[in-house]
Amino acid sequence: MREEVIPLSNFRVGVKAETWQEAVQAAGQVLLDCGSITQQYIDEMIQAVYDLGPYMVLMPGFALAHAEPSPAVLKDDMSLILLDKPVEFHSENDPVTIVLCVACVNRDSHREALIRVAAALMEDDIYDRLASAQTVEEAYTILHED
């Protein structure tokens, strides 16, 4: 994956969160701070977990935070955060260390980039190394390597 799919500035490591709500807020905050979403979208992501259960914890240690494309998404964007300490989402795949936040303006707009990220994250080797990355540069490099 040579082409950049998540900019370096959208990675965080050592993020502090006590609860799954704080973890989703923290992942969304990255996109809020760079003007890609409004707080409304973060609230929608949290509400989605209340409504649909913790299905976003797709695999051990990993949560995909997202909500439906909505006016609260100003531009397609993704962030990836590594939590300082894992949190519980009340899922079989708990506890969660990595949260990927995806915001898209419509259902197809961010597909290609998300496919690339998804394929990387579902490789055991890449996932394991990413989960133990110590710096944002390290996390960025692992996600974008071939």
The only residue of 8, 33, 122, 137 in contact with other proteins, by rule CB under 8 A: 122
Does the footprint of other proteins cover residue 93 (CB under 8 A)? yes
Contact between 55 and other proteins per CB under 8 A: yes
Q: Which two tokens stand for residue 131?
A: 């989960």
| Cβ neighbours for 119, distance < 8 A, ≥ 6 positions apart | none
Decide if residue 62 touches other proteins (CB under 8 A).
Answer: yes
- Binding of other proteins by 125 (CB under 8 A): no
Is residue 40 near other proteins by the rule CB under 8 A? no
**Residue 16 or 23 having the CB closest to other proteins:** 23
Q: Which residues, including other chains, have CB under 8 Å from residue 133's CB and lie 6 or more apart?
A: 13, 82, 139, 142
Give yes or no for residue 86 binding other proteins (CB under 8 A). Answer: no
Give how far Cα 75 sits from Cα of 56, 87, 108, 127, 142, Å.
Answer: 22, 28, 13, 27, 25
- Which one of 10-18, 79-87, 113-121, 133-141 is the stretch in contact with other proteins (CB under 8 A)? 113-121
3-state SS, 56-98, equals: CCCECCEEEEECCCCCCECCCEEEEEEEEEEECCCCCCCCEEE
- Give yes or no for residue 64 binding other proteins (CB under 8 A): yes
DSSP state for residue 18 in the 8-state scheme = S
The binding site for other proteins (CB under 8 A) comprises: 48, 51-56, 58-60, 62, 64, 66-69, 92-93, 102, 104, 107-108, 110-111, 114-115, 118-119, 121-122, 124, 127
Catalytic center residues: 66
